[in-house]
């Protein structure tokens, strides 16, 4: 299959239906498809323009991940230019990919660090945790979110069933890690039930748990309020239902951090109204 056919197949990656048809053919082609697939991925690190899931870049990365190990070295060369290289390497995994992604954490470029953190979370290698945890104090919200999500995924994989046991050694860190897995928990009924059991135990233990400041304790209560609201109302997209457990958590949050107007609004929305 020649260069023209490869280009035609790559053009099909712009839409889900045609991409699903083209990807198996590109994967079967193997080596001749690798460089054209990498070339078609958005150079978002270089340009600052982001391509979204469901884009040509996404489907190209999926195709590359399915080709597997032969794509690793070419993808390593693309790391300075496109976050989709990180995405593909995260799906491929392996020692070479993992080491290269760990090195990306030290580049100083927030886009590269964000992409590498997400990819490392997908790989799930516990050896990455120390490097990721060093970045939790970053001033970049994008990096902080990606790092926290990655830590949550890796620790969840390592801990297994113990992942949702109250962590008395790092309660604030655990609250943030559960928060980072929020979407997955909300969409999985079995996991949601376990998370609600964790929430009950965690909230009951809060008076005895140690935090570095009232602000940190208040933030933990705020996260607990929002988590339990959506765990109990997974279909909700906003705060409009009464929820006694969430209201309690928000009240505790305001005792520690009375300046939180956002929490006050949440409380007004979820606090059970007095019955006549």
Report pLDDT digits (tens) over 195-221: 999 999 999 999 999 999 999 999 999
Q: What does the pLDDT average to over 258-263? A: 96
Domain regions of the chain by residue span: 165-276
- Which of 205, 207, 243 lies closest to 226, judged by CA? 243
Question: In this predicted structure, what is the pLDDT of residue 51?
Answer: 59
SS3 257: coil
- Which of 64, 125, 61 lies closest to 99, judged by CA? 125
pTM assigned to the model = 0.73
* CA diameter of the chain: 77
Is the per-residue pLDDT at 274 higher than 80?
no
Q: What is the DSSP letter of 274?
A: P
Distances (CA, A) of 256 to 174, 212, 216, 250, 251: 19, 12, 9, 10, 9
Angle in degrees, 0-180, between the axes of helices 16-29 and 56-67, rounded to the nearest 10: 30
């Amino acid at each position: 299959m020649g260069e023209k056919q490869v280009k035609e197949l790559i053009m099909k990656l712009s839409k889900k239906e045609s991409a699903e048809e083209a990807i198996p053919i590109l994967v079967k082609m193997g080596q001749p498809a690798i460089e054209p697939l990498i070339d078609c991925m958005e150079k978002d690190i270089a340009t600052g323009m982001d391509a979204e899931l469901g884009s040509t870049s996404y489907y190209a990365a999926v195709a590359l991940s399915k080709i597997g190990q032969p794509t690793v070295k070419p993808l390593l060369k693309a790391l300075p230019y496109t976050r989709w290289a990180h995405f593909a390497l995260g799906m491929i995994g392996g020692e070479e990919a993992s080491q290269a992604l760990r090195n990306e954490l030290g580049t100083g470029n927030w886009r590269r660090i964000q992409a590498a953190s997400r990819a490392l979370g997908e790989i799930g290698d516990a050896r990455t945790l120390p490097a990721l945890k060093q970045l939790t104090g970053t001033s970049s919200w994008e990096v902080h979110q990606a790092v926290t999500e990655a830590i949550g995924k890796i620790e969840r994989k390592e801990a297994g069933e113990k992942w949702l046991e109250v962590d008395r050694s790092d309660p604030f860190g655990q609250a943030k890690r559960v928060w980072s897995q929020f979407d997955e928990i909300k969409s999985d009924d079995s996991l949601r039930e376990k998370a609600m059991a964790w929430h009950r135990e965690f909230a009951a233990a809060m008076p005895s748990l140690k935090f570095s400041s009232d602000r940190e304790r208040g933030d933990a209560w705020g996260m607990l309020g929002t988590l339990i609201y959506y765990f109990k109302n997974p279909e909700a997209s906003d705060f409009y239902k009464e929820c006694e457990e969430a209201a309690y958590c928000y009240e505790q949050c305001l005792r520690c951090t009375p300046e939180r107007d956002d929490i006050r609004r949440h409380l007004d929305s979820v606090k059970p109204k007095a019955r006549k």
